[in-house]
Chain A
Amino acid sequence: MQKTQISETTKEYGRGIVGGLLFSLPLLYTMEVWWTGFIASPEKLLAFILFTFLLLLGYNRHAGMKPETSFREILYESVEDIALAFVVAFIFLLLISRITLSMSFDEIAGKVIVESMIVAIGVSVGSAQLGEKQENGDKKARDNGFLQMGVLAICGAALISSSVAPTEEILQIAIKSNGLELLFMILVSLFISAVILFYSDFKGAGTLDSGFKNVSTNLVIHYFIALIVSLIMLWFFGRISCYGLSMVVAQTIVLAIPASIGASAGRLLIG
């Protein structure tokens, strides 16, 4: 049991920071996300921290670390990811003048929490996936079980959909879309997922020969995950409470397009 060299750690942190920025840059530059930082209630921010931390634990358990890694180590890694994310989000928001030291603690904390949660998932994915192949080689030697698939699909959906979820455009599209258009959106989401998961020979993807039952089950599960993640994102960004059921459903379907791409392609890429 040897200590990791500090140089190794700094390289890994470097990959993590790059990964965090890669996945969260759209969010760092989106004003609706800054606003959410001071509009969101404390309980909502707490729920977001908890949700992200569970995702980090899940990701590190199923893709970020070796299968035999203990829960204690996974916890340690997840806290490290969060620490890097806080620092990256704070410095970046300071750099683009979205936080200043004259602002109230409340405003600074809210903005940093909202931004750093997605950065944290990016950090985890970046440090695990952007390294040299041999480092991650044995991480792939794990069973491809339902839980792993689900966790990675949730992470992928959250990563990809979070960049558009807070924007006004989702609401605008939902308002303008009629029932038929929404139905087409569902079909297109399922079709894209099918192409990703079973046709295009993505890394780790299956084939259409695996049988109708397997294909349809996978598609339904991925789309269901996309819908749930979309709903959570909309709730967090304040797009649920003021709107009627039909508008909530419409927004969820609109957001589920990128979320389903994230759940299927994202899962294969970050897993």
Chain B
Amino acid sequence: MSHERDVVRSELRWGLVTAAAVSVIMVFVIFAGVVMHINPPSNVERINPQNLHLSAEFTEANLGTKVEANGQVTARIVTTQFAFVPRCIVLPADTPVTLRLSSPDVIHGILISGTNVNTMVVPGYVSQVHTVFRRTGDLLMPCHEFCGLGHSEMLATVRVVPKAAFHPGADGRAACAEK
């Protein structure tokens, strides 16, 4: 009997240890979300994938980086089998930027290397991520959701330039310069 009691006691103690570990993780996650505004991207916005190329926002001419009238820097990207349109986007560092993505065909996913940007791109929805890039340079943006035979070839470049070197045109658009 006393042996069984010991077992129960040690199991309860171990339960407390695991509860404490989970609590510590939850405190970190809540702190990051509330204090540092690091949250999973969440945006429920529907769009018809069948005529994405004819929509007001994701027409070919409207893709890429644009500084909106209110100063907000937004990059619009279409993820399609098996390429990003455009293949390279330029964005300023140390500036709040918004990425808006949509897919006309199958589920894709993106991440930008060395950053916390990471989202799925589901046909029928607009994925939106707000972030601030701290590092400059060419960052790799691959598709991270298997989307077909050409999946491994599907990648783009996010060119983060210093704020002072970000020069959008008169129409507010900025594109990667040919290297």
B is bound to A:
no
